[in-house]
């Protein structure tokens, strides 16, 4: 049961509602109105903003910073030097060291690693019932990524890797939806995804580049492939292929390696075949005729 305790933090005495077996470093800085549950560990020089709520069994590492009115539900871990913005809600999340999340995040069942930096209004949903804490075992793992504002992710997925020179980048207002699939989405290392994209149950391979306003429905994008702004891809794009702006790739119209699809092209599969009628890059003079 929580009790009101007077705790010395950074040379000052504060009164907190603190659960049993909780340990708080004497050098931590705790704001006004903070509530801390049972078996919580708060490291050296950690900072917790005013009116935040720390759930049972949570861990806040050394030098971590939580903004005001942050809520950590039971079992959330915030690593060393990590930052969580104001008004954020994290449920069963692990934010590893040197990662940061902007204001008003709402994330469940998420792991951030490799110095990932996330913008404001980030949403990750892996729970069917947020407040009852019902966990569907669909974890979103994000490594070494830079993610913009107003990005949403639903369901199970693995994003990024451990690249240091180049990270996976996801632009503002992009939505990645895998909520109704039993297999995780994979977005590989060094991928660059533009703004306002909608990605449904699609895998994106190493170093691929996706433009703004692109829609991927069950697509597979190969190594180094490029998809132009506003394209809609429903099939496989091979390694190094180029899909032009506003092109439409129908299901089963697989684009092979190094093929070039012009801007605005509509690619349909040949009846009875999985090979589409398109012109490969090796003969660009024929394109458009």
pLDDT tens column, 76-124:
999 999 999 999 999 989 999 999 999 999 999 899 998 999 999 999 9
**286 pLDDT more than 50:** no
Q: What average pLDDT does this structure show over 257-279?
A: 71
> How many CB atoms neighbour CB 284 within 10 A?
11
The percentage of the chain sitting over the pLDDT mark of 70, rounded to a whole number, equals 82
Tell me if 34 sits within 8 A of 18, measured CB to CB.
Answer: no
**208 pLDDT more than 70:** yes
Q: Give 94's strand partners.
A: 77, 111
Select, from the ranges 5-14, 202-211, 280-289, the one with the highest average predicted confidence (pLDDT): 202-211
The percentage of the chain sitting over the pLDDT mark of 90, rounded to a whole number, equals 60
Tell me if 193 sits within 8 A of 204, measured CB to CB.
Answer: yes
- Choosing among 2.160.10.10, 2.60.120.200, 3.40.50.300, 3.90.950.20, the CATH entry for 202-289 is 2.160.10.10
285 CB-near residues (< 8 Å, 6+ apart): none
């Amino acid at each position: 049961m929580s009790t009101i305790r007077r705790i010395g933090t950074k040379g000052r005495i504060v009164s907190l509602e603190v659960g049993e077996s909780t340990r708080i470093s004497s050098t931590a800085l705790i704001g006004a109105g903070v509530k801390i549950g049972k078996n919580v560990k708060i490291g050296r020089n950690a900072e917790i903003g005013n009116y935040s709520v720390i759930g049972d069994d949570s861990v806040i590492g050394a030098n971590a910073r939580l903004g005001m009115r942050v809520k950590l539900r039971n079992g959330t871990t915030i690593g060393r030097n990590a930052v969580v913005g104001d008004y954020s809600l994290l449920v069963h999340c692990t934010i590893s060291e040197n990662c940061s999340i902007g204001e008003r995040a709402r994330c469940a069942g998420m792991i951030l690693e490799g110095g990932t930096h996330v913008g404001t209004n980030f949403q990750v949903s892996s729970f069917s019932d947020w407040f009852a804490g019902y966990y569907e075992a669909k974890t979103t793992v994000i490594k070494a990524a830079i993610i913009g504002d107003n990005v949403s992710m639903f369901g199970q997925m693995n994003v990024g890797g451990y690249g240091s020179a180049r990270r996976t980048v996801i632009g503002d207002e992009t939505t990645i939806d895998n909520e109704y699939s039993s297999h995780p989405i994979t977005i590989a290392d060094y991928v660059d995804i533009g703004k306002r994209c909608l990605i449904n149950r699609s895998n994106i391979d190493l170093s691929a580049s996706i433009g703004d306003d692109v829609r991927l429905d069950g697509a597979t994008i190969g190594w180094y492939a490029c998809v132009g702004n506003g394209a809609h891809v429903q099939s496989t794009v091979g390694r190094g292929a180029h899909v032009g702006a506003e092109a439409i790739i129908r299901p089963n119209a697989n684009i092979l390696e190094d093929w070039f699809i012009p801007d605005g092209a509509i690619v349909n599969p040949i009846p009875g075949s999985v090979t589409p009628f398109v012109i490969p890059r090796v003969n660009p003079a024929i394109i458009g005729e």
